[in-house]
Amino acid sequence: MPKIAIIGAGFSGLTFANLLVGKADVTVFEKSRGGGGRLCTRRAEPYFFDHGAPFFTAKTQPFKGYLRHMIEAGVLRSWDAHFVQIDGQTSLRKSDSSAGSALYVGVPGMSAIAKYLAVNMDVKTNTKIVKIERQKTWRLWDENGAVYGEYDWVVSTAPAPQTAELFPQQFAEYGAFSFVNTLGCLGLLLGFPSRLDLDFDIAQITNADLALAVVNSQKPERHGGTSLVVHSSEKFARDNLETNSDIILQHLLAEVERILVCDAEVAEHRVLHRWKYAGAPKQVNGRALIDPRICLGACGDWCFGGSVQDAFTSAHSLATAMHPFLRT
Ligand SMILES: Cc1cc2nc3c(=O)[nH]c(=O)nc-3n(C[C@H](O)[C@H](O)[C@H](O)COP(=O)(O)OP(=O)(O)OC[C@H]3O[C@@H](n4cnc5c(N)ncnc54)[C@H](O)[C@@H]3O)c2cc1C
C-alpha cells in the first residue's frame, strides 16, 4: 500500500486518514499535544471550555452520513439549545427557541471527536513539521531535526498560510493559497462559582465587539462548574489581534456585562484565547488541492469555507481525487 504522511490531526486530517483506511498506510503528524485542532476542549477544573468551534451543523447528505457512526458511538450528540439574538447597540433581544437546524456537540467535550477518529491511527503528536523534501519519495523534518520517511505522498491539512510555507512553489495549486482570507477570533473563557441567571444557551450578537456567547456547561453531558465561552466579532479580532491581553480582557468583560446583562466580574476563571486562524469565508469554487505529478495534496476547511462541514467536504474531495493514484 502507498505510504502517506498527513500534516495536522484536526477534523480534516483525521477524516482524510479514516477515508483511506485499507487503501493506504497513513501516518499523521500533529504539532500539538493532542489532536482536534480547532475542535478542542480546555480543562481548567472545575471548568471545561470548548474554546474552538462550540458546535456545528450538518447540511449535506454525505456529511450527515459520516456523522452517523459518531452519533451511534455516543461521541456526538445534538444539542437542543435555546437561542437569542441580541442587538449589541440597543440590547434588544429576539428570542428563538432553537437554531433551525440540528447543532452537534462532542461529548463530554468537542475534543472527544478527534479522540474517536484517532483510534487505531498512527498519530505522532508534539511533532511540528517544518520542512518537506522529495527525492524519489518524500521526507519530513520536525522542529527538533528528526527526519521521517519515506512517504509516497504528503498531504497538508494545516491552515493555508502554514501549508504555503511548507509546500514547494512547483505545487500545481500553489496560487490557491494566496486567495484564502483567514479570519481571526478572540475568545473569552469565563468560569463562575455559581449558576448564571441567563435566558439563553446561545446568544448571537450583532453590531458589537462580541459575536457569540455560549453557556458551555449547558451542553449535553457536561460536568463541572458554570462556564461561558464568548467570541469577539471578526472585525474586533482583526483590529486587536496584537493588543495587550489585559486590555482586551477588560474590554470584553465589560461588553459581556453590558450586552448579556450579567455580573461577569464575579467570574473566578478568566482567560483570553487568540485564534489567528478561526475560519475562512465561503469559497465560491471550493475544491481540494492535488498535484499527482509530485504526489502532494492539501485539504482543510479553508478550501471550501470555514466550518466543520467544509473540513469534511475537503477531506472527502481529496480522498476521492486521490483514489485513482493509490491503486498501484
Ligand atoms: C473560535 C472558533 C469558532 C468556530 N465556530 C464554528 C462553528 O460554529 N461551526 C463550525 O462548523 N465551525 C466552527 N469553527 C471552525 C471549525 O473549528 C473548523 O472549520 C474545523 O475544526 C477545521 O478543521 P481542520 O482540520 O480543517 O483544521 P484545524 O482544526 O485547524 O486542524 C489543523 C491541524 O494542523 C495542525 N498543524 C498545523 N501546522 C502543523 C505543522 N506544521 N505540523 C504539524 N501539525 C500542524 C494544527 O495543530 C491542527 O491540529 C470555529 C473555529 C473557531 C476557532
Predicted pLDDT at 282 = 83
Pocket lining: 50 vs ligand 1, CB cutoff 6 Å: no
The DSSP string of 305-327 is -SSHHHHHHHHHHHHHHHGGGG-
Nearest protein CA to atom 10 of ligand 1, as residue: 307
10 C-alpha to center of ligand 1: Å?
A: 6
Pocket lining: 32 vs ligand 1, CB cutoff 6 Å: yes
| Nearest in space to 154 (alpha carbons), one of 137, 170, 177, 175 | 137
Pocket lining: 225 vs ligand 1, CB cutoff 6 Å: no
pLDDT tens column, 176-219: 988 778 899 999 999 999 999 898 999 999 999 999 999 999 99
Q: How far is CA 97 from CA 38, 78, 209, 251, in A?
A: 27, 15, 24, 30
Match 496560487 to its residue by C-alpha cell: 175
Mutate to test the pocket of ligand 1, among 308, 312, 318 (most ligand atoms within 8 A of CB): 308
| Nearest in space to 77 (alpha carbons), one of 67, 87, 86 | 67
Nearest protein CA to atom 49 of ligand 1, as residue: 37
Pocket lining: 305 vs ligand 1, CB cutoff 6 Å: no
pLDDT confidence band for 92 (50 / 70 / 90): confident
| Nearest in space to 280 (alpha carbons), one of 309, 298, 312, 303 | 303
Q: Are 257 and 265 in contact (CB under 8 A)?
A: yes
Task: Please provide the CATH number assigned to the domain covering 58-109+183-279.
Answer: 3.90.660.10
Q: Which three cell numbers stand for residue 26?
A: 497513513
Pocket lining: 42 vs ligand 1, CB cutoff 6 Å: no
Comparing 7-21, 76-90, 156-170, 172-186, which segment has the lowest mean pLDDT? 172-186
Measured CA to CA, the distance from residue 15 to residue 12 in angstroms comes to 5
Domain coordinates of the chain in residue numbers?
Answer: 1-39+111-180+286-328, 58-109+183-279
Nearest protein CA to atom 31 of ligand 1, as residue: 10
Question: Is residue 99 scored above 80 in pLDDT?
Answer: no
Q: For residue 11, give every residue at least 6 positions away whose Cβ sits within 8 Å of its Cβ, in sequence order, or none.
A: 36, 37, 38, 39, 113, 114, 117, 301, 308, 311, 312, 315
Q: Are 260 and 231 in contact (CB under 8 A)?
A: no
Measured CA to CA, the distance from residue 294 to residue 200 in angstroms comes to 51
Q: Is the peptide bond before 108 cis (omega within 30 degrees of 0)?
A: yes
Predicted pLDDT at 116 = 98
CATH class of the domain at 1-39+111-180+286-328: alpha beta
Measured CA to CA, the distance from residue 38 to residue 45 in angstroms comes to 20
Comparing 37-46, 98-107, 150-159, which segment has the lowest mean pLDDT? 98-107
Q: Using CB atoms within 10 A of its CB, is residue 145 exposed (0-12), middle (13-18) or buried (19+)? A: exposed
Q: Is the peptide bond before 46 cis (omega within 30 degrees of 0)?
A: yes
